[in-house]
Structure 1
């Protein structure tokens, strides 16, 4: 199991976003990973989804973070 937040965040991203985030400086990757972890912790809907499919919850949180980053 991956323990590095950046690695876990990258694994949760879709391939296109994974490549784009992987090309960013490490500091920016860490900021996005921290936002992703906050999203996972703060959203009750993701808690429910996490019980059914942890990978789906992580992917949804990653999508939300990338949507905010793009906006």
Structure 2
């Protein structure tokens, strides 16, 4: 199991997103990973999802962080 926040964050991303974020400077990766960890800690909806599927909760938190932190538009029908 990965303990490095950046490694865990990158693992929660889809393959295409992982490649794009992995090519960014380490400092930006660390900033995004910190935002991802805050999302996991503070969002009650993710707590419920985490009980059912921790990987799904981590992936959802990563998607939300990328949407918010990079200005990316969420998919239609998404949160």
Q: TM-score range by the shorter chain?
A: over 0.9
The 2-side partners of 1:65 and 1:14 are apart by: 13
1:52 aligns with 2:63: no
Gaps of 5+ in 1: none
What's the Cα RMSD here? 0.6
Max radius of gyration: which structure? 2
> Quick check: which one's helix share is greater?
1
1:32 aligns with 2:32: yes
TM-score, structure 2 normalization: 0.88
- Say how many residue pairs are matched: 71
Of structures 1 and 2, the one scoring higher in RCO (CA 8 A, sep 6+) is 1
Gaps of 5+ in 2: 72-79
Q: CA deviation at 1:16?
A: 1.1
Tell me the alpha carbon deviations over residues 19-70 of structure 1, each in whole angstroms, 9 at most, x when there is no partner: 1100000000000000000000000000000000000000000000011122
TM-score, structure 1 normalization: 0.97
Q: Displaced runs of 4+ in structure 1, greater than 2 A? A: none
